[in-house]
């Protein structure tokens, strides 16, 4: 039966010649097929089934990516947050390896993955929301192929990133605090860290009303903002939101753009999986239906993901450093909650402009396999789930 269907397809569709190898990116209306031998069906991007499948695929992609780079992520946080025990290793390619060796020697393999359970708890909903939000927002911002521009792709990615961060940020704060702990006698549990963050109180500040209207206004705002409790779980949230705009925006923009380049007729024979090749272009009227487009082969997909990670990391890294410093504010220093400007100023006074790029080396080392794995697993999962 299967061979007869294959023979029928060969009779209906002539083999593509050199001028027929056209693989167009498709996000518009299409028929999807779950797998060989199953009936085809139309699936709307706004349907609950599509939302659940895309969210599940995104969650799997995020967990796979974070597991691959778990040890590197631990070291990067220690570098960014200026942990005293590891400050001597920063600024060196060998420092990363040495730091990982010391952590392994002190705490074993578990030390390299400290905070990883919180990472997975956060990253599954985070990545799931991010990818499904991108699909939904993209369908609205880019209703058809005529509206598909770099600016709209960037906007779709940025809004998706902000949406996911808003719902999962408290778990990120807990993860960073767990990863920041390095003392042997500090076996921090998830619940203990939560209680510690919740009950942290910044020190009282002097009344600044006598120093002028600007200082007085700042003092009023300081006392108006919640200074403990649930607000502590959103420490560093503002720079995170600002950093997510370029990070998520450039990530999706770069990945999709590189994907278009790899699907160009001149490159498609070398970058497309032949078993998934589609010679026909999809209808261009709507982006609300799913089109099962041609899949990039492993080298091409991993390359597009890696480049997306490099570009997005470079664009957003300074704000990421500011965010990390704000998140560990209760674990170091006097616990005073600094604003974005105050944190940036302190980093500048400590190390100059280089302070905003501390740990960027390990960031690059980490981001290549992480983002590449994330997009690869997501695209393959979408295909297997019938929504690719």
Q: Between residues 126 and 229, which one has the greater pLDDT?
A: 126
The pair phi, psi for residue 31, each rounded to 5°, is -100, 135
Q: What is the dihedral of CA 205, 206, 212, 217, to 10 degrees?
A: 40
Q: Which helix (H) or strand (E) holds 167?
A: helix 150-180
Residue 242 near residue 158, CB atoms below 8 Å: no
- Cα separation of 344 and 375, whole Å? 32
CA angle 64, 83, 317 (to 5 degrees): 55
Q: Which CATH architecture has domain 19-200+214-384?
A: Alpha/alpha barrel (1.50)
Average pLDDT rounded to a whole number, residues 307-313: 95
Phi-psi region of 188 (alpha: psi -120 to 50; beta: other; left: phi over 0): beta
Q: Which tens digits make up the pLDDT trace of 313-371?
A: 988 898 888 887 887 765 445 556 678 888 889 999 988 888 888 878 777 888 889 99
What pTM does this model have? Answer: 0.69
Residue 13: CB atoms within 10 A of its CB come to 10
Bridge partners of 33? 40
Q: What is the dihedral of CA 91, 94, 95, 98, to 10 degrees?
A: 180
Does residue 312 sit in helix, strand or coil?
helix
> What would the 3-class secondary structure string for 205-267 be?
CCCCHHHCHHHHHHHHHHHHCCCCHHHHHHCCHHHHHHHHHHHHHHHHHHHHHHHHHHCCCCC
Does residue 182 sit in helix, strand or coil?
coil
pLDDT for 311:
93
**Averaged confidence pLDDT in the chain:** 77
Confidence of residue 45 (pLDDT cuts 50, 70, 90): confident
Confidence of residue 298 (pLDDT cuts 50, 70, 90): very high
């Amino acid at each position: 039966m299967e061979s007869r269907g294959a023979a029928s397809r060969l009779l209906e569709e002539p083999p593509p010649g050199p001028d027929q190898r056209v693989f167009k990116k498709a996000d518009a209306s299409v028929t999807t097929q779950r797998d060989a031998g199953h009936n085809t069906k139309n699936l709307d991007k706004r349907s609950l089934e599509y939302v659940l499948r895309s969210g599940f695929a995104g969650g799997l992609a995020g967990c796979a990516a974070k597991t691959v780079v778990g040890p590197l992520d631990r070291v990067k946080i220690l570098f960014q947050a200026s942990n005293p025990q590891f400050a001597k290793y920063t600024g060196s390619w060998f420092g990363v390896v040495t730091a990982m060796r010391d952590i392994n020697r002190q705490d074993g393999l578990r030390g390299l993955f400290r905070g990883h359970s919180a990472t997975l708890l956060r990253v599954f909903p985070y990545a799931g929301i991010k990818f499904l939000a991108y699909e939904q927002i993209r369908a609205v911002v880019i209703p058809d192929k005529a509206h598909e521009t770099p600016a709209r792709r960037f906007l779709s990615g940025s809004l998706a990133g902000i949406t996911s961060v808003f719902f999962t940020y408290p778990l990120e704060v807990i993860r960073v605090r767990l990863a920041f702990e390095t003392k042997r006698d500090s076996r921090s549990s998830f619940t203990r860290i939560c209680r510690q963050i919740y009950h942290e109180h910044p020190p009282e500040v002097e009344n600044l009303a006598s120093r002028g209207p600007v200082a007085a206004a700042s003092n009023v705002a300081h006392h108006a903002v919640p200074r403990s409790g649930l607000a502590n779980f959103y420490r560093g949230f503002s720079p995170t939101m600002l950093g997510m705009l370029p990070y998520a925006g450039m990530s999706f923009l770069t990945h999709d753009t590189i994907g278009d380049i790899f699907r160009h007729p001149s490159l498609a024979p070398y970058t497309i999986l032949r078993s998934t090749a589609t010679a026909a272009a999809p209808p261009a009227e709507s982006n609300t239906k799913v089109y099962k487009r041609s899949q990039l082969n492993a080298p091409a997909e991993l390359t597009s993901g890696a480049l997306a990670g490099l570009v997005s990391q470079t664009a957003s890294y300074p704000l990421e450093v500011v965010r990390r410093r704000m998140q560990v504010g209760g674990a170091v220093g006097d616990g005073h909650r600094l604003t974005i400007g105050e944190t940036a100023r302190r980093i500048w006074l400590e190390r100059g402009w280089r302070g905003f790029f501390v740990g960027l080396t390990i960031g690059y080392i980490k981001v290549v396999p992480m983002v590449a794995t994330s997009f690869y697993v997501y695209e393959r999962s979408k295909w297997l789930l019938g929504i690719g």
